[in-house]
Amino acid sequence: MPVSLRFAQFNIRDLTMQKLRDPGNSQAQAAAKIIKKFAPDVLSINEMEADPAAPRIFVKNFLQRGEDPVDYPFFYMGNTNSGVPTGFPPPFDYKGFGRFKGQYGIACLSRYRIDIDAVKNYKDVPWGSMPLNYCAEADSPCPGSFPLWSTAFLDIPIEIGPIEKGITAVHFLLLHPTVPLRNYMNLRRNADQLRFLERYISGQGMPGVSPLPADAPFVVMGDLNTDPGEELGTCEVIKGLLENANIIKPGMDEKEKTFLEEGGAEWPGSDRPGLLAARLDYILPASRRFILKDFHIFSPRGTPWWPVARRASDHFFIYADCELI
């Protein structure tokens, strides 16, 4: 019998521990209000500071307070390469961009049990070990240990389904590839990070990395920092990923965007002309085990929710309603 589930992805701009420790923080309150409105079963959060206590504090100080509280008894925060120095000369002096270590973490909140012992974090995979990688095209030699991932790539197994009908381990693949701007290296690195994801879900191994088993159900969630319609990032790579037969491509209008700059705490969200808008955030369920029932971008322009969405982040909350079969 199918299990109905709601998955959500939310990049909450620069959600630091300082903000999380203050229950009165207006940005975190706005983000929590949106999450409570839709109450997903599994939630991926980008840009939460990578402190192991951060998800628990967010749940306690924001999601369980006020009207319509929600609880996530299971959560995971992965280590990230953001802001970690390498000792190498530029442009390889940091594993990933960040003003401090752990600035841009990736968190998972779940109503279902997370198999913590089976979680995999591929943040240390060397860029040069990626087959046919773009690292070789760098203007200066890429150090052998320099990582592919600027943040992390998490494979988080979550046990879903009523016990009496059998538990299914669904692999939630959470990622936040580098912004493909500022220099050509970032563009190439973003492309290889997306190629890593496609190989991982397609049964193609890499040195030190075993791909998902062919029958393993999975859901990809994250801010991929690439828009196939706006020439932001390496378009042929994201287009190839979206056409992969192993995933369900959500039916999205090319005009629908998940990012609008100047949202977030310090930028309360102006609507001045010329703001950069892009489709960067994705939820991609496995085609072999899921039926996609609905997909929605919460971009509530013209409603009382608009200032809430713009206070929360420069990204919009997205969700997918699916059936696990």
- Structure-token pair, residue 317: 């909350």
For 312, the domain range is: 3-324
**Per-residue pLDDT band at 3 (split at 50, 70, 90):** very high
Residue 271 is predicted with a pLDDT of: 72
Say if CB 45 and CB 176 are below 8 A apart.
Answer: no
Q: CA neighbours within 13 Å on the CB side: how many for 18?
A: 3
Q: What is the mean pLDDT of residues 321-325?
A: 94
Counting beta carbons within 10 angstroms of the beta carbon of residue 159, is it exposed (0 to 12), middle (13 to 18) or buried (19 or more)? Answer: middle
Q: What is the mean pLDDT of residues 205-219?
A: 93
pLDDT digits (tens, 9 = 90+) for 114-136: 999 999 999 999 999 999 898 87
What CATH number did the domain enclosing 69 receive?
3.60.10.10
Q: What is the mean pLDDT of residues 257-267?
A: 83
Phi, psi of 282 (to 5 degrees): -140, 150
Mean pLDDT of the chain: 92
Q: CA neighbours within 13 Å on the CB side: how many for 132?
A: 6
pLDDT digits (tens, 9 = 90+) for 126-167: 999 999 898 877 667 899 999 999 999 999 999 997 655 668
The domain total for the chain is 1
pLDDT digits (tens, 9 = 90+) for 233-251: 677 899 999 999 999 988 7
Whether 269 has a pLDDT exceeding 60, the answer reads no
- Structure-token pair, residue 4: 């109905």
Residue 163 is predicted with a pLDDT of: 56
Name which of 234, 136, 126 is nearest 178 in CA terms: 234
pLDDT digits (tens, 9 = 90+) for 12-58: 999 999 999 999 999 999 999 999 999 999 999 999 999 999 999 99
Angle at 227 between CA 224 and CA 233, to 5 degrees: 75
Residue 267 is predicted with a pLDDT of: 55
Range scoring the smallest mean pLDDT among 39-53, 80-94, 177-191, 194-208? 177-191
Q: What is the mean pLDDT of residues 98-118?
A: 97
Query: 214 Cβ partners below 8 Å, 6+ apart?
Result: 203
Q: State the DSSP string of 175-206.
A: E-PPPS-SSHHHHHHHHHHHHHHHHHHTT--B
Helix, strand, or coil here: 101?
Answer: coil
The kind and range of the H/E element at 236 are helix 235-242
- Count of beta carbons in the 10 Å neighbourhood of residue 308: 19
Beta strands in 16-112 (DSSP E): 42-48, 74-78, 105-110
